[in-house]
């Protein structure tokens, strides 16, 4: 009997995919890993490792040949909007290879997400009201608490970008989804830590005003990371600033004069961007400087208890807001933008009459997500727990029941269609 074979592409920063490949291997799978740069290689392990050094334009043909040659049944990756990953999806679909996407947990802090086909707005879950109404709500609570991971994220990012930098000549054709220079990345992270302390006093004052002076009178606008794939690929905005401007202008035109707007910076974007001056100048031009606040590190749960509604592009922060039964307006595309759960009207109508959350329907959605997409664990710690849970999740929900052997698929294809691509890679033990 042929062993099942699985392939790992790019994962989260750090050793998660290395640990996961070992877990699959111990369970009897033949594991493969394709590395695209030195950072990938630093954190990789598999029974078979390959370094792709070809051009991005040749990646699809190379991958197709690789999947057939090694009889891969499933491909695992982190983030479905990276160039190499979004290019891989149609290749996997054409060969009936399971396309398994990891992402940060929809129901954080104690979960990670794993879905076939895609995540977030690319999810193919059946979330129709008819289907959700069949769901029996459950206690959607993880067994194990994860805790903070920022120190490990920082360490893994530094190691990854330095390894990528020193091997840049070897992987000269590689295209990354964001800047990779380790000095720049290090500067941004250090600036982020510095800003956290610089804004601490201001945030404390802002939180006092929001909790007391503006209690139940302010709308919360959580901002997203400037180069987040959900902003780039699944929203109508060319930048976070464009989103801020649309929301502030609409608020000025249509919100009641006693209402206040609170824009909250994303903690992972603190070192890269700062919108204080932009927001201040726009507020002054609109004459609403006394009704706009900008904060950085006030805990979101604290704000949820005092806000009257949330406006976001498509962040999963919206799910947390809905968990607190807060009216929520999405300005981009997201899987949870469902009638009865989020505000379906215009932003103008949201300021005037936000649609309430159907609590029963949301509980059904929340239970469905917890059971079908969430894994108790973390990309950055508790690896034994996370990897074992991920393997079990794959075998329970995603593993193909039966697959056509690649040799059979290949024999059905005319010889002129069979992939014939020079191998722009080197094997690594």
C-alpha 14/C-alpha 351 separation (Å) is 43
Return the H-helix or E-strand segment holding 50. strand 48-52
Domain with CATH 3.40.50 in the chain: 1-198+374-405, 207-370
Burial class (CB within 10 angstroms; exposed 0-12, middle 13-18, buried 19+) of 200: exposed
CATH number of 1-198+374-405: 3.40.50
**In this predicted structure, which of 14-23, 218-227, 228-237, 342-351 has the lowest mean pLDDT?**
228-237
| Pair 34, 64: CB distance under 8 Å | no
Residue holding tokens 């193909």?
A: 400
Residue 132 has pLDDT above 50, yes or no: yes
For the entire predicted model, the pTM comes to 0.88
Quote the pLDDT of residue 412: 41
Quote the pLDDT of residue 179: 63
Of 34, 43, 18, nearest in space to 69 by CA: 34
With cut-offs at 50, 70 and 90, classify the pLDDT of residue 180.
low
Residue 112 has pLDDT above 50, yes or no: yes
Residue 167 has pLDDT above 70, yes or no: yes
* Residue 224: partners with Cβ closer than 8 Å, 6 or more residues away: 230, 231, 240, 266, 269, 312, 313, 314, 315
Q: Which pair of structure tokens corresponds to residue 291?
A: 């009704």
Q: How many CB atoms lie within 10 A of CB 321?
A: 25
* Residue 22: partners with Cβ closer than 8 Å, 6 or more residues away: 31, 45, 387
Asked: is 207-370 a CATH 2.40.50 domain? The reply is no
State mean pLDDT over 13-42.
97
The model's pLDDT over 294-348, given as tens digits with 9 standing for 90+, comes to: 999 999 999 999 999 999 999 999 999 999 999 999 999 999 999 999 999 999 9
Quote the pLDDT of residue 119: 94
- Computed over every residue of the chain, the mean pLDDT equals 91
């Amino acid at each position: 009997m042929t062993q099942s074979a699985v392939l790992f592409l790019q994962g989260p920063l750090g050793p998660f995919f290395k640990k996961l490949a070992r877990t699959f291997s111990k369970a009897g799978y033949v594991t493969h890993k394709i590395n695209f740069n030195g950072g990938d290689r630093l954190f990789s392990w598999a029974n078979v490792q390959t370094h792709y050094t070809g051009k991005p334009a040749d990646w699809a043909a190379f991958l197709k040949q690789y999947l057939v040659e090694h009889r891969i049944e499933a491909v695992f990756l982190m983030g479905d909007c990276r160039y190499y990953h979004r290019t891989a999806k149609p290749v996997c679909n054409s060969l009936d290879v399971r396309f398994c996407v990891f992402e940060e947990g929809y129901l954080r802090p104690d979960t990670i997400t794993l879905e076939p086909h895609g995540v977030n707005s690319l999810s193919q879950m059946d979330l129709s009201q008819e289907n959700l109404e069949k769901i029996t709500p459950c206690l959607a609570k993880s067994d194990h608490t994860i805790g903070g991971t920022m120190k490990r994220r920082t360490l893994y990012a530094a190691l990854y970008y330095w390894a990528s930098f020193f091997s840049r000549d070897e992987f000269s054709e590689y295209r990354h989804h964001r800047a990779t220079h380790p000095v720049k990345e290090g500067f941004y992270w250090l600036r982020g830590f510095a800003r956290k302390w610089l804004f601490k006093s201001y945030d404390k004052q802002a939180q006092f005003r929001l909790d007391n002076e503006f209690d139940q009178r302010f709308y919360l606008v959580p901002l997203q990371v400037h180069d987040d794939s959900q902003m780039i690929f699944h929203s109508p905005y060319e930048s976070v600033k464009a989103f801020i401007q649309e929301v502030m202008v609409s608020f000025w035109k249509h919100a009641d004069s006693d209402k206040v707007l609170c824009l909250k910076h994303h903690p992972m974007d603190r070192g890269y961007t700062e919108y204080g001056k932009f927001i201040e100048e726009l507020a002054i031009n609109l004459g609403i400087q006394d009704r706009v606040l900008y904060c950085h590190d006030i805990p979101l749960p604290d704000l949820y208890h005092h806000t009257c509604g949330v406006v976001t592009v498509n962040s999963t922060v919206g799910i947390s807001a809905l968990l607190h039964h807060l009216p929520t307006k999405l300005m981009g595309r997201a899987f949870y933008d469902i009638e009865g759960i989020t505000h379906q009207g215009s932003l103008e109508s949201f300021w005037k009459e936000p649609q309430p959350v159907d609590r029963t329907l949301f509980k059904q959605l929340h239970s469905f997500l917890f059971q079908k997409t969430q894994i108790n664990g973390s990309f950055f710690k508790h690896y034994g727990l996370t990897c074992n849970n991920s393997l079990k999740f794959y075998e329970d929900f995603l593993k193909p029941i039966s697959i056509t052997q690649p040799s059979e698929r290949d024999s059905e294809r005319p010889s002129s269609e069979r992939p014939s691509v020079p191998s722009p890679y080197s094997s690594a033990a």
